[in-house]
Every structure is written in C-alpha cells, then in structure tokens.
C-alpha cells in the first residue's frame, strides 16, 4: 500500500488489472471516487477528533449503510486505535466481517493496530494468524504490537520468523526490531540488523538512524552510539535526546550536560539565521524526555543547583509541564546529595500525587545515608511517613519491609524492627535474568521449575558439578564442593 501511494500511476494500473479479473467489490475501492462521507470522516480523523469520527460513522450506519465502504471502516478503526477503545474496536471488527471486507489487507493491519493499542496483543496476533497471504506490512504490524506491549523478545522471534518465510524487512521493520533490541539489551542482534541494513543497501533515514543510536546506547555501546550521532548531519529532537539520555544512563553526566548545552547553542544559531533570512538550520527544542536525561545527569553528578535550574527551565523557558518522572528525578537528585529533609518537603509540595517509586526512592535513600542536617528525629519521621505511604500504594511489596527493618536496626529500635519483620508474610518476587545466545534471548528466574528447557539446564548443571568435584579431588582439595 505504501509503495502504491508513492507511485499513483502504477497504483491505477494495478487496480485496473484487478478489475479485469473480476475481483470482489471490496477490492475496488482504490479507484472509486471517495464519497463525501469518507472525506468528512478523514477530516475529523486528521484533526484527532475521534469522538466525532465514531459519532458520524454511527449516523451513517443507521441512516445510509450503503455509503459505508472499506475506507469508512478504516477511518473508524483508526479512531478506535487513537482512543484505545476496545469495545468500539470489536464492534468495528464485527462490521468488517458483516460487510464482507475481511480479505482487505489494510483493514486487517488496522485491526492488528487497534488490538495492540488496547493492550490485547493476543487478539492482535490472532488477527495476524487469520491473514492467509501475509505481506511485509502485516508482519511489521504484529512485530510492532509486541514491542508496544513490552514483549520485545517475542517481537524479535517474529522478526526472525518473517525472514525464514522469505519476507524481506524494510526500514520500518528494522526500525521496530531495533527498538526491541534496545529494550532487551540484545547487542548481538542489534549489530546483526545494522550489518543487514548496510548489506542490503537500505536508505538510512533519520528515524532509522535515531533507532540505531538508541539501540547502541541502551546496549552499552555508548562509543558507537556517539560516533553515529556525530556523523548525523541533520539532527532532530529524538537524535539529541537519545544521545543525552544514553550518556546519562551510563553515568557520563559531563558529556550529557555538554551535549544539552550544544543543543541550546544550535538553537541560538538557528534563531539568528532565521532573523537574517537564512534557513540552513532548523530550530530543535528539547522535549520532556530530553529533560529526563538532563535531570538524570545532574543527579549522577550531584549537581543540585544546576538540576533545580533545569527543572525550573522546563516550564519557564519551554512551557513543558513536569510529569511524575521528572519529580522523581528531582527527589533522586536531592536524596543522592543527602538532602533527605529537602527531598521530603519537595514531595509534600508536588502538584501531583507521589507514586510508589517516588516514596521508595526516599525510603531507599534513608537506608543508605543520614540527612545532612543531622536531625535524627526528623529522619524517623521521614522513614515512617514514607513507609506509611508505601503501605497504602503497594502494601504487598516485600522489599519495603526489609528496608524499614534495617533502618530500625541501625537506630537500635529492635522492637519496631521485629514488628516490621513479622509483617513479612511472603517472599519477594525473584529477579529475572536474561542472556543472549546467538540470535535468541533466554530469560531465567531463581528456582524456576516451569522453564521449557529445565531438564537440559539441570542436566548441564549436574555435569558441571560432577566435573568440578572431580577437579577438586584431583588437586587434593581438603574441602570438596557441596
């Protein structure tokens, strides 16, 4: 579909060919003059007025159902996707079936996107499975569905399956796959995709280049990411932000803040060029994610005053409203500097309700260091209030009880320590580890008896244990392995 839109004359010839082969009416909408109702639906959709799209569609369905074609349903489905409305989306799916438009590929991919946007990735995959002739767009849609729903491992499995089915990815597909690699930290797979891009001679647009920078940054190859960044001539806000956040995540606060300064200098030059009538460079303003990287960098470097200045600058200079994550960065900044009382007062003055992460940041800081003011009574008040809030927000989080117990022990408050310890009625959730084996990502948790490869894993572990015991005996070790 994307190819035909780029070459309309070829699209008309393909449509004419289908018409001469007695294709069903559902496949002929590409050459018909769009009805006024579709133009109205499209206009509402372009203005992001999803409620008007669905309301007008219902009026058409009730008063003039013959005017509804596959494009009408596509516009309605896109409105459901933007609105994340599963109930209305399923109603549209039923209408697609009733009108006999199931074989139309752009409706099938629209349904995949709708189910993905509403968090129903299983239904999205079922829709994909029902497509008899899967093309590149349908493969990309289902891979995107898993990435968007935080299941990058499955996304990469499908990416590999697509190639085994002789469907070659384009720049959109590899961009999505790189996002999955970034989420997993799958460096080997990310490097393979980068090599594939070069080998196939795919045009590297700005979006793909940004995905490569983001992938290398999150996979630990910050040097490679920086070289790609420096080699990018035209940068947008995503390019700058990916690199700033990458430096911040790796504790390279100086590099992150220097890059942010360069970004602002670039904007100053762009404004100057615009005043002089020149248009070589465009203005690139930082967004809320950019400031996340900046605040993280300030936190790692202990730059309290600079962090406060950047936090104020968000609203004063760029009219950006801080989100809960920005407030969390500020709490982390103050806690790392040992300013627990100031962090506590900052939380109390937040215009939004603090979430469990914010309170847990404060509680965790209490366990690591004392307040710089040296006020012991104030510390106990902060500990107790943070724990009280966490009990309301996430009462079953075992780690909070452990931290609180250790805090009371450090203060010699043994009765309260035992009281908190006795409240622990469950084990904390086991941590999950993952390793990259070839092109596969394997995940493990402690004492996992449900893993599909459990027999082979324990067989190898048993073999390793016997081998190490034999080595101990051969070396004459006094205390063989248990």
DSSP 184-239: HT-HHHHHHHHHHHHHHT----HHHHHHHHHHHHHTT-HHHHHHHHHT-SS--HHH
Q: How confident is the model at residue 362 (pLDDT cuts 50, 70, 90)?
A: confident
Q: What is the pLDDT of residue 14?
A: 27
Say whether pLDDT at 79 is over 70: yes
Identify the pLDDT of residue 19: 31
CB-based contact 182:150 (threshold 8 Å): no
25 pLDDT band, cuts 50/70/90, is very low
Least confident of 95-109, 114-128, 377-391: 377-391
Whether residue 121 lies inside any domain: the answer is no
The reply to whether 453 falls in a domain is: yes
pLDDT at 377 over 60: no
- Say if 443 falls within a structural domain: yes
Please report, rounded to a whole number, the percentage of residues in the chain having pLDDT higher than 90.
54
Each residue's pLDDT tens digit, 34-69 = 568 889 999 999 998 999 999 999 999 998 888 899
- CA dihedral sign, ordered 164, 169, 172, 175: positive
Query: Do the Cβ atoms of 267 and 285 come closer than 8 Å?
Result: yes
Mean pLDDT of 271-285: 70
Tokens (6 digits) for 175: 């961009």
Residue 47 lies in a domain: no
pLDDT in tens, 173-226: 999 999 999 999 999 999 999 999 999 888 888 999 999 999 999 999 999 999
**363 in any annotated domain:** no
Residue 438: inside a domain, yes or no? yes
| Integer Cα distance of 317 and 264 in angstroms | 12
Q: What is the pLDDT of residue 230?
A: 95
For residue 436, list its beta bridge partners.
441
3-state SS assignment for residue 143: helix
- H or E segment to which residue 363 belongs: helix 356-368
Query: How many C-alpha atoms does 435 have within 13 Å on its Cβ side?
Result: 4
What pLDDT is attached to residue 18?
A: 27
pLDDT value of position 390:
79
Question: In Å, how far are 86, 246, 259, 342, 364 from 328, measured between CA atoms?
Answer: 32, 19, 23, 13, 13
Residue 103: inside a domain: no
Higher pLDDT, 375 or 272: 272
Over residues 311-331, mean pLDDT: 94
Higher-confidence residue of 269 and 414: namely 269
Chain-wide mean pLDDT for the chain? 81
pLDDT at 1: 35
Domain limits at 445? 433-474
C-alpha to C-alpha distance for 379 and 354, rounded to whole angstroms: 19
447: left (phi over 0), alpha (psi -120 to 50) or beta: left
Q: 456-479, pLDDT tens digit by residue?
A: 777 787 778 888 877 766 655 544
480 pLDDT higher than 50: no
The structure's pTM equals 0.74
Q: How far is CA 166 from each of CA 133, 135, 161, 163, 298, rounded to the nearest angstrom?
A: 13, 10, 9, 5, 48
Residue 364 lies in a domain: no
* Stretch 402-414: mean pLDDT: 62
Task: Give the count of domains, the chain.
Answer: 1
């Amino acid at each position: 579909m994307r190819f035909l839109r780029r070459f309309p004359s070829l699209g008309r010839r393909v449509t004419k060919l289908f018409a001469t082969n007695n294709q069903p009416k559902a496949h002929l909408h590409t050459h018909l003059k769009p009805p006024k109702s579709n133009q109205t639906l499209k206009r509402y959709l372009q203005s992001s007025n999803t409620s008007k799209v669905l309301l007008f569609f219902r009026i058409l369905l009730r008063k003039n159902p013959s005017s509804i074609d596959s494009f009408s349903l596509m516009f309605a489905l896109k409105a459901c996707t933007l609105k994340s409305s599963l109930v209305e989306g399923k109603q549209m799916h039923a209408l697609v079936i009733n009108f006999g438009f199931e074989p139309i590929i752009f409706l099938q991919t629209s349904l995949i996107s709708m189910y993905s946007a509403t968090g129903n990735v299983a239904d999205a995959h079922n829709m994909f499975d029902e497509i008899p002739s899967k093309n590149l767009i349908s493969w990309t849609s289902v891979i995107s569905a898993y990435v968007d729903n935080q299941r990058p491992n499955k996304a990469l499995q499908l990416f590999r399956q697509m190639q085994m089915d002789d469907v070659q990815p384009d720049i959109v597909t590899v961009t999505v796959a790189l996002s999955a690699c970034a989420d997993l930290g799958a460096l080997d797979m990310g490097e393979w995709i980068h090599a594939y891009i070069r080998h196939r001679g795919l045009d590297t647009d700005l979006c793909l280049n940004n995905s490569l920078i983001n992938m290398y940054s999150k996979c630990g190859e910050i040097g490679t990411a920086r070289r790609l960044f420096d080699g990018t001539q035209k940068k947008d806000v995503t390019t700058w932000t990916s690199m700033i956040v990458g430096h911040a995540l790796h504790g390279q606060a100086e590099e992150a803040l220097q890059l942010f300064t360069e970004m602002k200098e670039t904007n100053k030059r762009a404004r100057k060029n615009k005043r002089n009538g020149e248009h070589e460079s465009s203005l690139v303003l930082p967004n809320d994610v950019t400031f996340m990287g900046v605040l993280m960098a300030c936190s790692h470097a202990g730059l309290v005053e600079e962090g406060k200045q950047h936090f104020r600058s968000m609203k004063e200079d760029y009219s950006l409203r801080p989100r809960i994550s920005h407030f969390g960065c500020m709490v982390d900044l103050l806690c790392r500097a040992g300013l627990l009382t100031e962090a506590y007062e900052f939380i109390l003055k937040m215009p939004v309700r603090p979430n469990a992460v914010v309170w847990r940041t404060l509680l965790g800081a209490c366990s690591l260091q004392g307040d710089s003011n040296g006020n012991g009574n104030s510390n106990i008040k902060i500990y107790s209030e943070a724990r009280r809030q966490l009990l309301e927000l996430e009462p079953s989080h075992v780690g909070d009880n452990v931290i609180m117990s250790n805090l009371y022990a450090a203060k010699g408050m043994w009765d309260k320590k035992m009281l908190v310890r006795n409240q622990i009625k469950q084990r904390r959730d086991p941590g999950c580890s993952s390793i990259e084996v070839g092109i596969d990502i394997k995940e493990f948790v402690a004492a996992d008896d449900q893993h599909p490869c459990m027999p082979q894993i324990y067989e190898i572990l048993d073999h390793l244990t016997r081998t190490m015991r034999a080595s101990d005996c051969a070396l004459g070790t006094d205390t063989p392995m248990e």
